[in-house]
Amino acid sequence: MLLISCPNCGSRDETEFHYGGQAHVAYPENPNELNDREWAEFLFYRDNTKGAFAERWLHSTGCRQWFNMLRDTVTYEIQAVYPMGAPRPAAAPPAAESGTASTAPDSTTTGTARPSIAATSTSTASRSTTAPEGATK
Amino acid sequence: MADLLPEHPDFLWRNPEPKSSYDAVIVGGGGHGLATAYFLAKNHGMTNIAVLEKGWLAGGNMARNTTIIRSNYLWDESAAIYEHALKLWEILPEELEYDFLFSQRGVMNLAHTLGDVRESMRRVGANKLNGVDAEWLDPQQVKELCPILNINDNIRYPVMGATYQPRAGIAKHDHVAWAFARKCDELGVDIIQNCEVTGFLKDGNKVVGVKTNRGTINTEKVGLCAAGHSSVLAEMAGFRLPIQSHPLQALVSELHEPVHPTVVMSNHVHVYVSQAHKGELVMGAGVDSYNGYGQRGSFHVIEHQMAAAVELFPIFARAHVLRTWGGIVDTTLDASPIVGITPVENMFVNCGWGTGGFKGTPAAGLTFAHTIATGTPHHLNKPFALERFETGALIDEHGAAAVAH
């Protein structure tokens, strides 16, 4: 179970929270101008990042406030908690991301995980892989 | 039950070095990848092909599912492809010359609320119209079929009835993988384990090769069968998938005498239970809510499913959990798979089977092989194309998926 630090209430068990999926997905600025492809992107396509992922959580049985969290989707390590509307913290996470990926064969259950994160991000370095804002229109 | 299992097999496939070039490469050596390779070789004569597996053969969701096979889905498109799969399951042991103990002991989907009852009866009707065997059972009939089920009305969510598909059942998942792998190997397919794809070679918008940790492989066609890692591969190839990867957990008890004659699933209280051939109680539940690639989930999900199981089956209260584990399931918004062409030329995708991929294995393989070989959809997988998220022709199977996500 995740131990989540609610910005208002402090550390609480995951069971008090509700998951809200990818953070920083803005409603389209000009909805009337979107074509079907762009609507599909907004409605159905979300980043599915392997590694540091910015996501929304709701403290549903506590303060009932939404907040954002940066969490590693492989190790499940929570790297940052920050308010809705604030930009995704940039500096700290990358170190933690590559750190956990290459040094710790973290998830022993995975067996095959190896440096797949590192490999993934290098092999696609030419493209901006880890920006979850990629979906934002 | 408690049938004698086949002897542990000798090595059933070679472990070849990757060649520098193949007519087609399948990424992912799980059930779907192996089935796809098998049907490519058998139905389309494509034998100069390889299956690349980053770990060991069938060590992902193929090793982690609860082996339930059924076809009682609501919509025509789903009933067609899952029923085709079920018919293939019925003939595959003979065709593959390998008995993977497909035990057609039936599957019950319980109804606990009036809403459940109405939806279940509707699904039974839809199933019958689609030629899928289905019937509605009242609580007494439920009890007759599965005597250990508690049908008293003094529990939080009493059993108000169930849908029942007699031809459904369970199979030995590992043996299914070995059966496909052996036939693939016989037909000349190279199964290459410990071979992780790290990128794709493209000529313009056309894929022409695969970069792996064991060298570059040129190929004319690529089929992705990577379940929870589909998004990662798609990103390498330069397109997006409407997939979210979640942990899905399951568990087994120690071995018991045969007590559970069928398979029981409950969408409402979130548990599904069968008793494996050897005697373990095998249980699963809903997905963990958060995205995850860790092949493990949170304990409260296990706790929740055990509570549901013990209320439905009081006899389980004194059983013990032997093992729990997790897989990474590739969920879509409409709980239906994505099979077909991609924005990248000569690259095809089979993913999004989410919590129910095992039962679909043979039909996924058969239709995906057709799509790879001909470059066009098979009539069974056509509705499951990626473009449905743009056209809006979604196939909402959250009810029949029976696993909350």
Nearest CA in chain A to B231: A48
Fold entry, domain A3-83: Folate-binding fold (3.30.2270)
Distance separating alpha carbons of residues B394 and B405, to the nearest angstrom: 16
Q: Where are the alpha helices (DSSP H) in B290-375?
A: 299-312, 357-374
What is the token pair recorded at A42? Answer: 């907004």
**B94 Cβ contact list (under 8 Å, min separation 6):** none
Indicate yes or no: CB of A109 within 8 angstroms of CB of B240.
no
**Domain spans of chain A, in order of start:** 3-83
User: Mutation test of the interface with chain A: which of B54, B201, B229, B232, choosing the one with the most A Cβ atoms within 10 A?
Assistant: B232
pLDDT tens for chain B, 405 residues long, are 456 666 766 788 999 999 999 999 999 999 999 999 999 999 999 999 999 999 999 999 999 999 999 999 999 999 999 999 999 999 999 999 999 999 999 999 999 999 999 999 999 999 999 999 999 999 999 999 999 999 999 999 999 999 999 999 999 999 999 999 999 999 999 999 999 999 999 999 999 999 999 999 999 999 999 999 999 999 999 999 999 999 999 999 999 999 999 999 999 998 999 999 999 999 998 899 999 999 999 999 999 999 999 999 999 999 999 999 999 999 999 999 999 999 999 999 999 999 999 999 999 999 999 999 999 999 999 999 999 999 999 999 988 876 766
Partner A contacted by B229 (CB < 8 A) = yes
Nearest to B55 among A46, A55, A112 (CB): A112
Residue B173 corresponds to which amino acid? Answer: H
CA B141 to chain centre: 29
| pTM of structure | 0.89
User: Which chain B residues in 324-383 lie under 8 Å from chain A, judged by CB atoms?
Assistant: 325-326, 333
Chain A nearest C-alpha distance from B132 (Å): 31
Partner B contacted by A108 (CB < 8 A) = no
